[in-house]
Chains A and B, each alone.
Chain A
Amino acid sequence: SQTIHQWPATLVQPVGSPLSLECTVEGTSNPNLYWYRQAAGRGLQLLFYSVGIGQISSEVPQNLSASRPQDRQFILSSKKLLLSDSGFYLCAWSAGDTEAFFGQGTRLTVV
């Protein structure tokens, strides 16, 4: 069966520090991978999606970047965090047009 792992679960980082959130998927190959952000009291915003290794599409301009160094690994990064980067980050995968499966999320607080 397929599983998705996302870590860390919570993170407190100072403004200006770097960020690296990692997401891995098991039990499937060539998944579509997604990073979403959920700001407090707001809905889900698609940040990045990827259809293959090294292929990243960005949905909104921002302080973040994403990379896919391996087929089932998706990384969300920042060189210098801003206060506005605080939120709940969710990684997800899907196989084409079917449902998306989500990780448990990372709550990032930038202080």
Chain B
Amino acid sequence: GEDVEQSLFLSVREGDSSVINCTYTDSSSTYLYWYKQEPGAGLQLLTYIFSNMDMKQDQRLTVLLNKKDKHLSLRIADTQTGDSAIYFCAESPRGSSASKIIFGSGTRLSIRP
């Protein structure tokens, strides 16, 4: 079946790196995503990675994909207070007539001074 799992909470000190982890079950997924949700708002796509890639870097964001272990991580360098949000991992599995995007439960990132 399709399932995406992530830890619920992460607390880091301002200026440190944040690493948010995610595991997924569908090995046929083509795309894997990281979304950010700020309080009371919709989701915004932060970054995504194709399943044939191992790593993707975009400014302070680094995505690592381990296909063998079905593990995805998001690293935020130099974490700032504006990075406080819920971060959702998501996968887009193949094999169905529609592209369903399956989300994890979200990791709430809090920043301490």
Contacts and interface: CB of A to CB of B under 8 A. Distances in A.
Interface string B93-113: 010011111111110000000
B24 interface: no
A50 B45 CA distance: 21
Contacts of B97: 51
Interface string A11-38: 0000000000000000000001010100
Contacts, number: 64
Given A34-B101, A36-B103, A46-B102, A105 B41 contact: yes
A42 B33 CA distance: 18
Contact of B40 (A59, A99, A100, A107): A107
A43 B99 contact: no
What 6 pairs across the A-B complex have the smallest Cβ distances?
A43-B105, A102-B42, A44-B103, A51-B98, A102-B43, A104-B42
A99 B33 contact: yes
Interface residues of A, number: 27
Given A43-B88, A43-B106, A44-B88, A100 B41 contact: no
Nearest to B100: A49
Interface residues of B, number: 25
Given A50-B98, A90-B43, A92-B43, 15 more contacts: A6-B42, A42-B105, A43-B103, A49-B100, A51-B97, A96-B99, A97-B30, A97-B92, A98-B99, A99-B31, A99-B48, A100-B101, A101-B45, A102-B42, A102-B44
Given A43-B105, A94-B99, A94-B101, A99 B41 contact: no
A104 B38 CA distance: 11
Contacts of A99: 31, 33, 45, 48
A87 interface: no
A51 to B, nearest CB: 4
Chain A, interface SS category: strand
Contacts of A97: 30-31, 92, 94, 99
Contacts of A104: 41-42
A56 to B, nearest CB: 10
